[in-house]
Amino acid sequence: MAIRANPHLIDELEKYGAQDVVKCYHCGNCTATCPFSGEVFVFPRKSMRYLQLGLDVRLQGNLEPWLCYYCGECSEECPRGAEPGETMMSMRRWLTARYDFTGLSGLFYRSAKAELLAIVLVALLTGLGLTLFGLSQGSIDVYDGPGAFLPASSIHIFDWVMAGVLVLLLGINCVRMWWYTMGSDKEVRIPPLEYLKQLFLVPWHFLTQRRYSQCDRKSPWAIHLVLMLSYLTMLVLIMFFLHRVQHGPAIDWRAHAFGYAAAAGLVVTTIYALQGRLRKTRPHYQHSHETDWIFLALLLMVSLTGIAQHILHRGGWETAANVLYVVHMMGVVPMLVLEVPFSKWSHMAYRPLGMYFSTLREKAVLAAEDPEKSRPAAAAQTA
């Protein structure tokens, strides 16, 4: 069965950041250089090929972009300047948009204006909503305790509802990811038992990003790990210990120690990433899409306002603290609502799933193949 080439796909991907892929003349350097390219998953050239030819269906089912960590060695070796690293990054953005059933993700990736508009809209709604709520049942001068403007218990409920909705959205997208990459593949069938056996891989990769640590350069993995663990710590504190951290003015060190460490982690790594992207210090900082800046900006804004409102509260300026709390939420809510199901943060699900699915697939493909065939040198034949 022949697949139709779609010359328009490249135009679409350009908006996601793939401007140089047209230059690829298929020398194979990138794939040969890539430390992760192996027997079953051969990349990045093959993925770039699908893109050049406009094979939407193939690209949609491609797990390879999630196996790439943008060490950038491929881009360094590329004799044509086709930027395989950035192309893979663009594919991750495109796949994120594809997995998303609402279409919003695609909209936000293609149009920074749309994303900013959405952020502003959600921020205003949040601001308005919280202010009205706060005023309706509390006083703006009280941060904590009876009459609190934004009591922990209410915020707690609000957080959990929001989390539920976002997880649901992301979950649906994850199922779509499975369908595109694994479920719809009639050639490789994986028994449900296998899925269960390897399920531990998902939390394992989520927590350690082990694969990232296998790149030649270790510092990107380390920085990302700190960023992620800081965020995770903050999430746990807010979702489960909000009351304890919000309650003041005394500082509950058992909880706050984590909080401060996490805040520091967030701020330091975010600023590191920002200056890295501005000064293009690393291969994966050479190209920055608008979504990259928006993400970092939101993270920084949220971290700083979070710290600020905490300081203000502990310092006794409760009104200011409340105001800043609202502002903080006006950053948190859009950030979560946009980033988790529709934008960069979705990779926290897609990557571990990518590891999980690819392991399952690799096992299935290698088991099905004749052991002789999988040895390249012996079977090397002319083109």
Partner 1 sequence: MNDECRIGVYICNCGTNIAKVIDAGLVRDRVADLPGVACARTYEYMCSNPGQEMIAQDIREHKLDRIVVAACSPRMHELTFGNALEDAGLNRHMLEMANIREQCSWVHDDGARATAKAADLTHAAIRRVARHEPLEKQEAPYTPATMVLGGGIAGLTVAVELADAGQHVHLIERESRLGGNVGRVDLTAPYLDSARDILAEKIILAESNPRIDVQLRSTLTDLQGFVGNFQATVTHQDGAAQQLDVGSVVVCTGYREFDASRIERLGYGKHLDVITSFELEQRLRAGKLETADGRVPRYVSIVHCVGSRHAKYHTYCSRVCCMTALKYGHEIKSALPDAMVTDLYVDMLSFGKGGEDLYRRTSELKTMFLMYEKEDYPVVRAAEKGDDCGLLVQVEEKLSGETIDVPADLVVLMVGMQARSDGADVARTVGISQDRHGWFIESHPKLAPVSTATEGVFIAGCCQSPKDIPDSVAQARASAAMVLGHIARGKVVVDARYAQVDADLCSGCRMCNELCPYTAIGYDPEEGRSDIQSALCKACGTCVAACPSGAITARHFTDEQILEQIEGVLAWRSSQP
Partner 2 sequence: MLPNVLSALEFERLTNASGPTGGRIVTRSTQRNRRTKEEEWVFDTDAPAPRSVAIIHCVGSRDQNHNPYCSRVCCMYSLKFAHLVKEKLPDATCYQFYIDMRAFGKGYEEFFERIKDEGVFVVRGRSARVEARPDGMVIRGEDIVHDRIMEFPVDMVLLAAGLEPARGAHRLASVLGIRPDDDGWFTELNYNTDPTGTNRGAIHVAGVCQGPKDIPDTVAQASAVAARVLGSVISGSVRIDRESVSSAEAAANAARLAGTSPREEPWPSEPTHT
Residues that bind partner 2 (CB under 8 A): 25-33, 37-39, 42, 45-46, 77, 79-81, 376-377, 380-383
376 counts as binding partner 1 under rule CB under 8 A: no
Answer with the entry of partner 1, partner 2, none that 97 interacts with (C-beta below 5 to 8 A by kind).
none
Answer with the entry of partner 2, partner 1, none that 229 interacts with (C-beta below 5 to 8 A by kind).
none
**Distance in Å from the first CA to the final CA of the chain:** 22
Neighbours of 307 (CB within 10 A): 18
7 counts as binding partner 1 under rule CB under 8 A: yes
Q: Shortest distance, CB of residue 256 to partner 1, whole angstroms? A: 55
**Integer angstrom CA distances of residue 256 from 152, 321, 324, 326:** 16, 17, 19, 21
Closer Cβ to partner 1, 42 or 268, answer by number: 42
Q: Shortest distance, CB of residue 370 to partner 1, whole angstroms? A: 19
Q: What is the largest CA-CA distance in the chain?
A: 80
What is the footprint of partner 1 within residues 23-42 (CB under 8 A)?
A: 23-26
Neighbours of 195 (CB within 10 A): 14
> Which positions from 48 to 77 touch partner 1 by CB under 8 A, shown as an x/- string?
-xx-xxxx--x-------------------
Q: Shortest distance, CB of residue 1 to partner 1, whole angstroms? A: 7
Q: Shortest distance, CB of residue 20 to partner 2, whole angstroms? A: 11
Q: How far apart are CA 81 and CA 83, in angstroms?
A: 5
Closest Cα to residue 90, out of 40, 52, 57, 118? 52
User: Left (φ > 0), alpha (ψ -120 to 50) or beta: where does 111 sit?
Assistant: beta
Answer with the entry of partner 1, partner 2, none that 101 interacts with (C-beta below 5 to 8 A by kind).
none
217 counts as binding partner 1 under rule CB under 8 A: no
Answer with the entry of partner 1, partner 2, none that 53 interacts with (C-beta below 5 to 8 A by kind).
partner 1
Burial class of residue 193 in the structure, from the number of CB atoms within 10 Å of its CB (0-12 exposed, 13-18 middle, 19+ buried): exposed
365 counts as binding partner 1 under rule CB under 8 A: no
244 counts as binding partner 1 under rule CB under 8 A: no
Q: How far apart are CA 108 and CA 130, in angstroms?
A: 25
Contact between 144 and 248 under an 8 Å Cβ cutoff? The reply is yes
Instruction: Tell me which residues touch partner 1 (CB under 8 A).
Output: 1-5, 7-8, 10-11, 22-26, 46, 49-50, 52-55, 58, 80, 383
